[in-house]
Amino acid sequence: MGHPVRHSRSPKLHGHWLRVLGIAGEYTLADVRPDDVAAFIRALGANGYAGGNVTVPHKVAALGAVDRVEPEAAAIGALNTLWFEDGQLVGGNTDVYGFLASLDQDAPGWDARHGRAVVLGAGGAARAIVYGLLRRGFSVTIVNRTVEKAEALAGYFGRGTMAAGWSALPALLPGCDLLINTTSLGMTGSPPLPIALDGLPRDATVFDAVYVPLETPLLAAARARGNRAVDGLGMLLHQGVPGFERWFGVRPAVTPELRALIEADLIS
């Protein structure tokens, strides 16, 4: 459920798992206008759905349309996954799991120092990522063009978070262990991310939540100077695992075959 939603690769992702696991089911897209999202969610069961995912711009609005919100989703202030449990429609957030599992797989040891992270952007994706970083023991500085939005998000999470404007970024990079882009800058069709990595330690890890293209200019620049770089596709793949398990009772696997399938779809 999103608006717009045609760009989503989730049908390809979940369709692959349904085929591999031999489950009779279908994952479809629903372009739902903001004014209609609450009614659509409340009618999921009556319309034969086992649950669903919620993407922008509905992740916050959906909180008020479910019977119960899992503690992690409530702490983040947004949900992305819905399922039925004991007759109730439950809302959770698997973005945190997807983000952490992606880094654990593609940059093992990234959290060994429990160091300092700089998160670019203060939107919906940033909420789950900041929460995950705090859970792993990082201190987090949220950097946003509109510093008031960064301050609001830092205030929401409180201890362990700080806010800064874009002009502060050069001074923040030398003390950064993990640099994360949660904005759409650098995405195909969007302006480039205006950042120079001068001063970023060579042993820092760089993560870009963007996955179209897979190799964003930020990741290319990071690799060129010797930093570990992780694209956003892994987060997309891993966040789907807990939801699929909730709906169908089987835990799927993120495999090289699956990644190759989605990569091919991204460039087709």
- Tell me, what's the pLDDT at 113? 84
Q: How far apart are CA 92 and CA 72, in angstroms?
A: 7
Residue 103 identity (one-letter amino acid): L
Q: Which residues are CB-neighbours of 9 under 8 A, at least 6 positions away? A: 236, 262, 265, 266
Percent of the chain's residues with pLDDT above 70: 100
Mind listing the pLDDT tens digit for each residue in 79-97?
Answer: 999 999 999 999 999 999 9
Residue 212 near residue 188, CB atoms below 8 Å: yes
Please determine, for residue 20, whether its predicted confidence score (pLDDT) is greater than 90: yes
pLDDT at 260: 96
What single-letter amino acid sits at 127?
R
Kindly tell me the burial class for residue 240, based on how many C-beta atoms sit within 10 Å of its own C-beta (0-12, 13-18, 19 or more).
Answer: buried
Report whether 16 contacts 254 (CB < 8 A): no
| Whether the predicted pLDDT of 169 surpasses 80 | yes
Is 59 labeled as catalytic in the residue annotation? yes
pLDDT in tens, 114-168: 899 999 999 888 999 999 999 999 999 999 999 999 999 999 999 999 999 999 9
**91: nearest Cα among 127, 131, 128, 41:** 41
> Position 193: which residue type?
L
Catalytically annotated residue among 59, 127, 238, 246:
59
The per-residue pLDDT for range 179-205, each reduced to its tens digit, is: 999 998 998 888 989 999 999 999 999
